Amino acid sequence: MNGGACRPTNGNGGYQCMCPTGFTGTRCETRDACNPNPCLNGGTCMPNNFGGVTCQCPPGFSGPRCEDRDPCASQPCMNQGN
């Protein structure tokens, strides 16, 4: 499916598919929601159980797609300011 190349793996009817970029699954039937990566600022994309994605943000960033920068992450305030 979706342009995947499937080949038999042994004599008992088993097979393995090599999926094109953007698809996953045993028969390339599932669109890879993390390709291209929707996470910003170096965030790591992880598929969730609902067909969407969750972005794991690096330190200093937050938001659904790591789009929000935390201005206090670098601790620019002096004298215990926050």
Please provide the average confidence, as pLDDT, over all residues in the chain: 86
For residue 41, give both structure tokens: 């600022």
Positive or negative: CA dihedral 33, 21, 8, 27? positive
The residues near 30 (Cβ < 8 Å, ≥ 6 apart) are 23, 24
Whether the predicted pLDDT of 78 surpasses 80: no
d(CA 18, CA 63) in angstroms, rounded, equals 34
Let me know if the fold of 1-32 is the same as that of 33-71.
Answer: yes
What is the three-class DSSP state of 24? strand
**CATH number of the domain at 1-32, please?**
2.10.25.10
> What pLDDT digit, counting tens, does each position of 31-71 carry?
888 989 999 999 999 988 887 899 999 999 999 999 999 87
Domain segments of the chain: what residues? 1-32, 33-71
For residue 73, what pLDDT band results from cuts at 50, 70 and 90? low
CATH, range 33-71:
2.10.25.10
Poorest-pLDDT segment among 10-14, 33-37, 71-75: 71-75
**The model's pTM:** 0.61
- Spatial separation of the C-alpha atoms in residues 50 and 57, rounded to whole Å: 20
Taking CA atoms, 32 is separated from 21, 43, 46, 55, 78, in Å, by 8, 16, 10, 14, 45
